[in-house]
Amino acid sequence: MSGPGGLLPTLLGVLALLLVSAGVLRVAGVRLGAGPALAVARGAAQLAAVGAVLGGVLDHAPLAAAAVLAVMLATAVWTAGHRIAGIAGVRAASRAVACACAAGATVVLLVVFLVGMLPFEARYVIALGGIVLGGSMTAATLAGRHLLAGLRSRADEVEAWLSLGATPRRAVVDIARGAVRESLVPVLDQTRTTGLVTLPGAFVGALLAGASPLEAARFQLVVLTSLIAAGSVVTVVVTTMLGAPRTHPRPEPAQAPAARRRTA
C-alpha cells in the first residue's frame, strides 16, 4: 500500500522523524548513537508480532487473553524491578513490583467489568489490561526511583529517626509518602489537561476505529480513571514493601566518598 496510511508512507515518515531526532541531538551534542533507531526497530518488530498474535487471541477468549496479560505483567515486572533494584536488590524490587502491578490491575479490571463500564470481551480485557499494566509499570518505576532518591538525599534524617529508636518503616514513612505523591503527578496532570493539551491515545484510537466522539470520550474517561486507581494502588504497595530497608542504599557513584576525595 502506497497511498495515505500505507506501508511506504509510514516507512518514509518513520525515517524522516528519526533523522529529525538524530539531527537535533547531534546539534545539542547529545550522543545516543543508534539508540533511537534501534528502539523504533525493536518496537516495530514487537508490534508486528503482537498484532499477529492478537489476531488469533481475540477468537479464543478468555484463557488466551489471560496468557497475553501474564506476559505483559512479567515484562513489566522485569523492567521496573531492574530499574529500582538499588533499594533492596533485584529480587526484592521485582517481588514488590509484581505484587503491586498484579494488585493494581486486578482491582481495576474487576471494577470496570463487574460494574459494566465496558463489555466483558477479550478485546476490551486486553486493551484496558495492557494500558493499565503499562501505566502500573511506569508508576512502580517512578515510586521506586523517588523513594530511592529520597533515601539518599535525606539519609541524615533517616539516621536521626533511627537513633531516636524509630523503626525503619517509621524513619522512612515521610519519604515514602512523598514518593507516592510525586509518582502520581504525571497521570493526574494528564487527566487534568486531557482535551486541552493533548488528545490521549485511547480517545484517538477509538475515533479512528469509528466510534462517535462521545463514545471515544467515555472510553478515555474509563482509561484515565483506571490509570489513577491502578497508580494509587501500585505506588502505595511498592513504597510499603520497599519502605523499610534493612540497609541504607548506596550513594550514587558521583556522591561516593572516594569520588569526593578525588574531586577535592
Which of 40, 36, 35, 72 minimizes the C-alpha distance to 53? 72
Note the residue count of the chain. Answer: 264
CA distance 6 to 252: 47
pLDDT at 264: 35
> What's the pLDDT tens digit per position in 201-213?
677 677 666 767 7
Q: How many degrees, rounded to 5, is the angle at CA 90 between CA 107 and CA 145? A: 70
Q: What is the pTM of this model?
A: 0.75
CA distance 50 to 9: 22
The alpha helices in the chain, defined as continuous H runs, are 7-28, 35-57, 63-83, 90-115, 122-153, 155-163, 168-192, 201-208, 213-242, 257-263
- In this prediction, the residues of the chain whose per-residue pLDDT falls under 70 are 1-6, 51-62, 196-201, 204, 207-209, 211, 248-264
Burial class (CB in 10 A: 0-12, 13-18, 19+), 29: exposed
* 202, 219 contact by CB (below 8 A): yes
232: cell is 494509587
Q: How many degrees, rounded to 5, is the angle at CA 142 between CA 231 and CA 133? A: 45
CA distance 13 to 6: 11
163: cell is 537513633
pLDDT at 200: 67
Dump the DSSP string for 181-193.
HHHHHHHHHHHHT
* Amino acid at site 217: A
pLDDT at 262: 40
Q: How many degrees, rounded to 5, is the angle at CA 93 between CA 92 and CA 95? A: 65
Q: How far is CA 57 from CA 62, 123, 165, 238, in A?
A: 9, 9, 55, 31
pLDDT at 256: 46
